[in-house]
Structure 1
């Protein structure tokens, strides 16, 4: 008579044999893989493959726009999508003309970077009315299109202001004098960052904004503005710029005045190697990185979502916000500093 332990052992062995045999049976039954996986891929390709995705930045000369374009082109190609790009090179009239042409071409998805909150609104509305999905990147307009991908500028402004207050507020014992270097006055990035910063500053009596001027995204203009500010206010406590490349001009003016290290310098931006260089060279105190590489990926993800769901253009208002990350000398390397495109 077989003992109980032996019976139990036999049962377990038979159970394992059945489990191990199951996969081979399944493969034998369907060597091509699961039906569900094939159906998912077929539906995906039907929605995405062959569709045209068009990209219209303010300029491709800026690292942030070049990185967005690199990611969109790379991921669109992998998905079998057609990629179209137009470069107005900082010319607002040329950008509007390019947008009009792309709308007339009836592309499937249009990705637009707004120079202001109003300029491109009419054409974006027309695009969605005719069936083109519109995604706005990083700087929204007064019009809510199918999707927005980018930084939450209120959050970015608040984080920058909190950092300034920690270094220049009442508890610091310093002058509390702050310079703000805006981009384009009517750009969402400027409007929303300034609003958030001033709200935070208003809660600390020591903070005094002694200069709040637009450099229009230009480093030389930022340098000239800051040179005047530092002459008028040699006890300046902090300078805050709304784009790393632009704020590098302000940093140079502060260095020229012999105030590097004494004046705290902050910027927000895409996180290119240029930004990390400013940190590692001691020009920026800290940098708030909203990661344009990740934004480029999110742009294509938003496009695919709109195409796969089959929703009518103009009926959705999706948002893909990117999480900002502080960069300083402890982490100004690796993934926080994307490589700049090589000159062709």
Structure 2
């Protein structure tokens, strides 16, 4: 049985090798955190566009927020003999073995948008600490440095969640008059965050002065709950990513601000970096794309 499986594996590897030489196209395996998340889909779409322009074959899979599934997907890419792997990590620690496995197999691995504890071949993304500093500073300014803030976390243990909490708390420390009234995970999810906000409205009602949601999906969920409760006009809501829904809400004046994260740059530069590594060209080990605050005053610049 073992000999039979080994023969099949050798045959599969040979076929992949033959296909590679026939097509003469680099093959990049891509594993994304969750294709239910609009920003992540935007990053994936940009990678697809860049790959088509560059004549690269992409094999894109959805890890569905499971680090274990993500590791299995990377193992599958290794078995397929891809030229490079792009990973949008599910978790800082739990997705790290995928990096180790790819590197042990001699396959370059590029982390996009989110980080792992184990250093990949390269990283393309943004400084999530900076995004939360921008968001919380906006809240501090709007509230005159005094008031009660609620924070909705992303998926716990993921790099963006950890760093956005860090950035938010840095600003909170600078303003003793700002109090973190409550915080909990909405798992990057609109419906879950709407439900969370409904519970907080029941618990805290008129005590809430501002909401910081670590992404727009959660910000939009909180906004819906506040609007339904007739409280939106009294509460400042800020989130991160600048997805189309959020930009429209900022334009209407319902969402106070969002922080633009550049999916186009992250996606395209992840593929460009992978190609440079495949072609043994010089490449940057870390590319950080800046965040930008989006308010009603400048939202038109970000609308497509």
Compute the TM-score of the two structures, normalised by the length of structure 2: 0.85
Q: What does residue range 117-132 of structure 1 map to in structure 2 within 5 Å?
A: 117-132=92-107
CA distance in 2: counterparts of 1:216 and 1:61, whole angstroms:
11
| Contact persistence 2:67–2:89 (CA under 8 A) | no
Structure 1 residue 264 corresponds to structure 2 residue 231: no
1:114-146 superposed Cα distances (whole Å, 9 cap, x missing partner): 111112211211111222111111110111101
Tell me the secondary structure at the aligned position of residue 62 of structure 2. Answer: coil
Kept in 1, the 8 Å contact 2:190–2:221? The answer is yes
Cα distance in 2, alignment partners of residues 320 and 224 from structure 1 = 36
In structure 1, C-alpha distance between the alignment counterparts of 2:144 and 2:116, rounded to whole Å: 33
1:332 paired residue among 277, 299, 303: 299
Q: Which structure 2 residues correspond to residues 183-332 of structure 1 after superposition, within 5 A?
A: 183-231=154-202, 232-269=204-241, 271-309=242-280, 318-332=285-299
SS of 1:84's partner is strand
Radius of gyration: which is bigger? 1
Residue in 2 aligned with 1:70? Answer: 45
Q: Secondary structure at the match of 1:202?
A: helix
* Corresponding residue pairs, total: 280
Aligned 8 A contact 1:181 1:222 in 2: yes
Unpaired runs of 5+ residues, structure 2, are: 1-23
Tell me, yes or no, if structure 1 residue 180 matches structure 2 residue 151: yes
- Does 1:88 find its partner at 2:63? yes
Structure 1 segments of 4+ aligned residues over 4 angstroms from their partners? none
TM superposition score normalised by structure 1: 0.76
Give distance in 2, aligned partners of 1:112 and 1:188.
13
- Report the secondary structure of 1:131's partner residue: coil
CA distance in 1, matches of 2:247, 2:133: 22
User: What residue in structure 1 maps to residue 15 of structure 2?
Assistant: none
Query: Does residue 142 of the first structure (1) align with residue 114 of the second (2)?
Result: no
- C-alpha deviation, 1:267, in angstroms: 0.4
Residue deviations 1:257-298 (CA, integer Å, cap 9, x gap): 2121321100011x3322212223333101101111121111
